[in-house]
Amino acid sequence: MGIVDLFLQASSSVSLLGALALLLFVYFISSVSFSSKKDRKCPPGPKPLPILGNLLQFDLKRPYNTLMKLSKTYGSVFTVYLGPKKVVVLAGYKTVKEALIDHAEEFGERDPIMLVQNANHEHGVLWSNGESWKEMRRFALTNLRDFGMGKKACENKIIEECSYLMEELKKWKGEPFDTTHPINYAVSNIICSMVYGNRFEYDDPEFTSLVDRTNTLIQISGSPSVLVYDLFPWIGPLVNNKKLFQSLFAANKKQNLQLFAAAKEMLNPQMCRSFVDSFLARQQILEKSGTNVHFHDENLMSTVMNLFNAGTDTTATTLRWGLLLMAKYPLIQDQVQEELRRVIGSRQVQVEDRKSLPFTDAVIHETQRLANIVPMALPHKTSQDVTLQGFFIEKGTTVYPLLTSVLYDETEWEKPLNFYPAHFLDKDGKFVKREAFLPFSAGRRICLGEGLAKMELFIFFSTLLQHFRFRPPPGVSEDHLDLTPRVGLTLNPSAHKLCAVSCL
């Protein structure tokens, strides 16, 4: 559905007079916002149209590609108008680092999209701001660590889940299968064990429906119609994805309420088994003392759903990209498996093996870089007036740190558009860190599950490559494996199947 079509359909659903008044109002606001004060140097950008801004210049399915092209013309700090909404875009490693790290406080707020704002009411850890966000993020970090994040206990959970995942892959006996469900379920079980206190079977309909709905919600959140709805909320009745989002979100919320109710019945504040238990125990204590401000049911719901969504989608998506890239580049898969055979043999891979597997580690990092699964990060917002690289950006401005431009920065990467693990290896084949490797973003809003994700990616990827050879389906050559990402808030691989052939 195009922009013009959306406006034509919307105008038929309201009175002509009301539509005219609304358009005149939006035009007035747009005209004011488009004008800049002469005494301040604002970031440059393409000239916007009234009401529509620069939308007609955008590929709404892949807006990050449009922003990359615009950065070539307007530089590393520039302005675009998405409808009447002013957005400052940050491009390139040095610029993104300067903003998110050197000016972390000024660029540290979140600008939630309309659908999410309506669903979460700015609660939780992902889309919230202010004291509530600080309290929930601090509590989440502390308790996820208490329940194993970054520790041996978590490593053991991942290793155990690997065994369940491998049994699932063996059922296909080398025949083509869609990697989506088994990978998503395996990765989701790790965050489930921390948040809910237990893992689930891959054929448990309550579990699988929760995971599948979550993946659909994330895909919908990045759709063109949701982007346009975010800019022009009055077209809401015409946006089918809005209705679908609300329906799926309500179903996930209902399922979580049932899990919370069960947790309350079994709660022993002296022996908390999960994040939910810890939250409920803290809630009881603060309510008795009359000092409870942030530990309410809405924050529990939003925080748990944030953790579940982020803890499932991003790691599972990266792992699926890794397996697809191995099938597409069999010579690189050869090198990974040779290193695993030489260093590990048939024993179980452990986190401490990472330093002895530099090529495997480089392949995982290069997968994260090239997959670029959150190309525009999540939207930021300035907390105060700030000057960046000589440009004035006023308080409350939406900011897109263009992570694509960091991970594909031509001044930082030798072959930015190619799958090239040597980006992370020195001349002696030893692993090297790269400053421009920012797949988890940076600053105050850096992914709070970064340590967990790194552990999961290393153990899952290495263990799967140790036991299976991943190939395209019969009759499909490596060249025909499509690396075009699917449209969504995160960039998943397009629909595909692989063969997992046992090699141990």
pLDDT tens digits, 221-241: 999 999 999 999 999 888 899
CATH superfamily of 41-502: Cytochrome P450 (1.10.630.10)
Question: What pLDDT sits at residue 471?
Answer: 97
Supply φ then ψ for residue 410, to 5 degrees: -65, -20
Which pLDDT belongs to residue 25? Answer: 56
Give the pLDDT confidence score for residue 21 in this predicted structure. Answer: 52
- The pLDDT of residue 297 is 94
401: β partners: 90
Which residue in 114, 139, 105 sits closest to 280, CA to CA? Answer: 139
447 is in an annotated binding site: yes
Q: pTM, whole model, 2 decimals?
A: 0.91
CB 413 within 8 A of CB 440: no
- The structural domains of the chain, with segments of one domain joined by +, span 41-502
Cα angle at 8 between 7 and 10, to 5 degrees? 65
Dist. CA 18–CA 133, nearest whole Å = 38
Residue 144 confidence (pLDDT)? 86
pLDDT of residue 348: 95
With residue 366 as reference, give the H or E element that holds it: helix 358-371
- Reported as a single tens digit per residue, the pLDDT across 293-314 is 999 999 999 999 999 998 899 9
pLDDT, position 8: 38
pLDDT of residue 13: 38
Rounded Cα–Cα distance for residues 126 and 447 (Å): 9
Alpha-carbon span 307 to 147, nearest angstrom: 14
- Structure confidence at residue 139 (pLDDT): 94
Contacts (Cβ under 8 Å, ≥6 apart) of 201 = 207
Predicted pLDDT of residue 152: 80
Give the helix/strand (H/E) hosting 401. strand 398-401
Q: Where is 387: in which H helix or E strand?
A: strand 386-388
* Contact by Cβ (8 Å): 127, 116: yes
Point out the residues of the chain with pLDDT beneath 50: 1-2, 4-17, 19-20, 30-38
CA distance 445 to 422: 29
Q: Which of 414, 418, 447, 437 is nearest to 361 (CA)?
A: 437
pLDDT of residue 334: 98
DSSP state of 492: P
Mean predicted lDDT score pLDDT of the chain? 91
